[in-house]
Amino acid sequence: MGLAVAQLGPVHLSDSRQAVVQRLLEMMREAKGRGAELVVFPELALTTFFPRYWMDEQEAQQKFFETAMPNPAVQPLFDEARKLEIGFYLGYAELTKAGKPFNTAILVDRGANIVGKYRKIHLPGHSDHKPQAPFQHLEKKFFNVGDRGFGVWDTMGARIGMCICNDRRWAETYRTMALQGAELVVLGYNTPSQNIHWNEPVHLRTTTHLLALQGNAYMNGVWVAAAAKCGSEDGFHMIGSSAIVAPTGEIVARTLGEEDEVIAVQADLRLGELFRQNVFNFAKHRRPEHYGLITGRVGAGEPLPQPPLED
């Protein structure tokens, strides 16, 4: 499968959705030119990463959320996708008809039909105002926890799962999709390079980001394609290192800069089969009777009582 990731450089407060869509169109065309049948765009791709700013929910929803998808600003993307016969993943802030706010991503097939929708489940950051911090990370304030689970869809000749940003750091995300037979997981992210909670060395942001993709790709026998929105947005820097990772856990393509940049590979979906049929043959090797804590507990607790040693 021709698979591409379209990394977006900075989107500033002053950038219109229309201007961003023009950049996405450019990269969609380049992805198609490089053989892609599916191109992955970032999380919250249409606007700046607004959870970095303190404002009330109403203002955020008025300025940064989409109340319909597609809508006039993004329609050109759907039109071009239909013309080029290329599918795409797009992350955006969704305000539902019922007025519920979500950090959402859609999976659009090569006929420009929305075939899947995912709402971010792992919301990082905080909901209180931290005036001392260099910037906020208010996803817990602006978004509801996703209410659609981790979905997997048969489309474009593959079984594809979606997640968003912080989800990629949690093993449960991929395992839940792999247990539905996912062959490919696509995701977008916006990852600040500075940690507001402790003085974390900057390089660790990229290290842990790649580790999360590589480890989980390997442990679930899936391809992972991750698209950053990155660079300095109005002075607030976010990491790049968009990447396509094989089921071997190896990085097969990654971006070199922090601007708009397309990476593309011919992903052999059979590669994952080797791992899912052998070392990670879930049906043969998993022992859920011993995994109870994983869904039984939220936070870490006391060690479980152990059977007597003489047993």
Q: Output the smallest distance, CB 124 to ligand ING, in A.
A: 4
Q: Output the smallest distance, CB 89 to ligand ING, in A.
A: 16
> Which residues would be at the binding site for ligand ING (CB under 6 A)?
124, 165-166, 169, 189-191
Question: 66, 80, 94, 120: which is the annotated catalytic residue?
Answer: 120
d(CA 216, CA 12): 32
Nearer to ligand ING by Cβ, of 83 and 197: the residue is 197
Catalytic site residue 120? yes
Between the alpha carbon of residue 39 and those of residues 156, 166, 222, the distances in Å are 12, 20, 17
Question: 37, 165, 233, 258: which is the annotated catalytic residue?
Answer: 165
Q: Output the smallest distance, CB 268 to ligand ING, in A.
A: 28
Nearer to ligand ING by Cβ, of 136 and 176: the residue is 136
Question: 43, 139, 183, 261: which is the annotated catalytic residue?
Answer: 43
Nearer to ligand ING by Cβ, of 87 and 161: the residue is 161
**Cβ 7 vs Cβ 262: under 8 Å:** yes
Nearest residue by C-beta to ligand ING? 166
- Output the CA torsion 286→288→290→293 (10° steps): 130
Catalytic site residue 83? no
Collapsing DSSP to helix, strand or coil, 212 comes out as: helix
Catalytic site residue 66? no
**Cβ 23 vs Cβ 74: under 8 Å:** no
- For 245, which DSSP code? E
Backbone phi, then psi, for 106, in 5-degree steps?
-120, 155
Q: Output the smallest distance, CB 137 to ligand ING, in A.
A: 6
Q: Which residues contact 53 (CB under 8 A, 6 or more apart)?
A: 135, 136, 138
Nearer to ligand ING by Cβ, of 20 and 93: the residue is 93
As annotated, the active-site residues are: 43, 120, 165
